């Protein structure tokens, strides 16, 4: 069963078209990564799903029920975490969740039980400090607890890890993994490593439409180009290869070589680093050209191998078409 189905969703702001016929299907009990560059329309799509934004065209079904702008009937199925959640700073986490339960009309005994359960689940069970002193990661965890309070069928998170450090990102992703047992999870992001870590399904939003959609495994086999990894013995050899083949590097989608060279780590240029792994996007013909250049310029190579297909390489192909 599809928990969320979007058909031909269109929205423009003034003369600017943002969504130009979005078609999206989110399977029940999946962890669905909604991927796109900043400004691609991910938040606009989510606001339409929540009934907070009137689409110009298209239909949205949540658990089989149609979303209607300005009405909240379908939101009983949805828990929502915005990209920057706001709270009453003078409350403790338990006090805030108690307020959420009271707003929902729940019994006090049920509110207490559900609040403790969720705070334990997100790692805030022992936290008694006021929310105003919380870090960004702690607020994200509390936001997830709030979004899950009424046991939604669909949890929507807008860029939940974008401003977190690696530890905070890992913690949020682990929580979302655990949430899958009780809810379908849809989260928007532009961080491809997060998608590869926990998602079962993914869709790429580009130019107002879904460019690719499927399971993570399916999408990894869709790339037009292959990737290979080459590691030189010295940074000097890597710099030479970047100067000659920089436009084929996966790490930079620009076709302008001077942009690629300017992004090289300073420790490479100074010869202070021995991490010289380069990832190229291209077919066998490019590999043969690189190998020929390596031989002609006597560049010592430590490793060269075909890389496992990645969502990052597919996304860069989509973004540059």
CA-CA distance, 294 to 93, in Å (whole number)? Answer: 59
pLDDT tens digits for range 8-67: 999 999 999 999 999 999 999 999 999 988 888 999 999 999 999 999 999 999 999 999
Last residue of a domain, one of 198, 217, 236: 217
Same domain, residue pair 191 and 256: no
The whole-number average pLDDT for the span 171-185 is: 91
Of 49 and 262, the one with more pLDDT:
49
* 103 part of a folded domain: yes
Last residue of a domain, one of 187, 217, 247: 217
Looking at residue 312, its pLDDT comes to 75
Burial of 289 per CB tally in 10 Å (0-12, 13-18, 19+): middle
A 10 A CB-CB count for 136 gives 14
140: pLDDT strictly greater than 50: yes
Looking at residue 210, its pLDDT comes to 94
Looking at residue 258, its pLDDT comes to 41
**How does the average pLDDT of the chain come out, rounded?**
87
* 288 part of a folded domain: yes
The number of distinct structural domains making up the chain is: 2
Q: Which strands, in side-by-side order, build the sheet including 78-81?
A: 78-81, 154-158, 184-189, 31-35, 201-206, 209-215
Same domain, residue pair 161 and 252: no
CATH code, domain with 8? 3.40.50.300
pLDDT tens digits for range 90-100: 999 999 999 99
Same domain, residue pair 96 and 179: yes
Q: 127, 175 in Cβ contact below 8 A?
A: no
Same domain, residue pair 235 and 166: no
106: pLDDT strictly greater than 60: yes
Of 74 and 104, the one with more pLDDT:
74
Q: What share of the chain is helix, strand, coil (3-state, %, to 5)?
A: 40, 25, 35
Percent of the chain clearing pLDDT 90 (strictly above): 60
Same domain, residue pair 94 and 32: yes
Same domain, residue pair 57 and 130: yes
Of 272 and 207, the one with more pLDDT:
207
pLDDT tens digits for range 202-258: 999 998 999 989 998 888 777 656 788 999 988 888 889 988 998 888 754 333 344
With H, G, I as helix, E, B as strand and everything else as coil, classify residue 152.
Answer: coil
* 88 part of a folded domain: yes
* 316 part of a folded domain: yes
* 222 part of a folded domain: no
Same domain, residue pair 25 and 172: yes
87: pLDDT strictly greater than 60: yes
| Cβ neighbours for 258, distance < 8 A, ≥ 6 positions apart | none
292: containing domain: 227-320
| pTM of this structure | 0.76
Q: How many angstroms from the chain centroid is the CA of residue 3?
A: 19
286: pLDDT strictly greater than 70: yes
Same domain, residue pair 207 and 136: yes
Same domain, residue pair 131 and 234: no
At 125, the pLDDT band (50, 70, 90 cuts) reads very high
Looking at residue 315, its pLDDT comes to 78
**Sign of dihedral through CA atoms 55, 81, 316, 260?**
positive
Residues found in the chain: 321
The whole-number average pLDDT for the span 72-76 is: 91
Instruction: State the Cα angle at 116 between 84 and 77, rounded to 5°.
Output: 55
Q: What is the dihedral of CA 135, 115, 92, 136, to 10 degrees?
A: 10
CA-CA distance, 215 to 201, in Å (whole number)? Answer: 4
Write b or e for each residue in 23-37: b if 16 or more Cβ atoms lie within 10 A of its Cβ, otherwise e: ebbbeeebbbbbbbe
* 245 part of a folded domain: yes
Helix (H) or strand (E) holding 287: helix 284-296
* 280 part of a folded domain: yes
Of 121 and 264, the one with more pLDDT:
121
Q: 202 — phi, psi (to 5°)? A: -155, 150
* 39 part of a folded domain: yes
Last residue of a domain, one of 163, 195, 217: 217
At 297, the pLDDT band (50, 70, 90 cuts) reads very high
Same domain, residue pair 251 and 292: yes
């Amino acid at each position: 069963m599809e928990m969320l189905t979007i058909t031909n969703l269109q929205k423009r702001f003034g003369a600017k078209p943002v969504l130009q016929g979005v078609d999206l299907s989110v399977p029940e009990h999946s962890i669905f990564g909604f991927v796109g560059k900043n400004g691609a329309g991910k938040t606009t799509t989510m606001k339409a799903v929540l009934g907070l934004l009137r689409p110009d065209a298209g239909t949205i079904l949540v658990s089989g029920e149609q979303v209607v702008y300005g009405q909240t009937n379908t939101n009983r199925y949805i828990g929502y975490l915005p990209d920057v959640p706001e709270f009453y700073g003078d409350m403790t986490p338990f006090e805030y969740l108690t307020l959420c339960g009271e707003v929902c009309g729940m019994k006090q005994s049920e509110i207490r039980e559900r609040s403790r359960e969720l705070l334990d689940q997100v790692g805030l069970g022992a936290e008694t400090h006021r929310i105003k002193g919380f870090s960004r990661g702690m607020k994200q965890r509390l936001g997830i607890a709030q979004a899950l309070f009424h046991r939604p069928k669909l949890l929507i998170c807008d860029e939940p890890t974008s401003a977190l450090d690696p530890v905070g990102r890992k913690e949020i992703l682990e929580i979302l993994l655990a949430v899958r047992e009780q809810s379908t999870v849809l989260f928007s992001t532009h961080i491809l490593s997060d998608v590869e870590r926990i998602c079962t399904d993914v869709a790429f939003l580009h130019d107002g439409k879904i460019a690719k959609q499927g399971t993570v495994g399916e999408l990894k086999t869709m790339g037009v180009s292959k990737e290979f990894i080459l590691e030189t013995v010295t940074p000097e050899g890597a710099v030479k290869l970047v100067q000659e083949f920089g436009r084929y590097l996966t790490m930079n989608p620009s076709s302008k070589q001077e942009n690629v060279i300017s992004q090289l780590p300073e420790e490479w240029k100074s010869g202070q680093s021995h991490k010289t792994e380069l990832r190229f996007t291209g077919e066998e013909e490019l590999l043969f050209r690189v190998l020929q250049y390596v031989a002609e310029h006597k560049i010592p190579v430590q490793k060269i191998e075909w890389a496992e297909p990645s969502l990052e390489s597919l996304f860069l192909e989509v973004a540059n078409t």
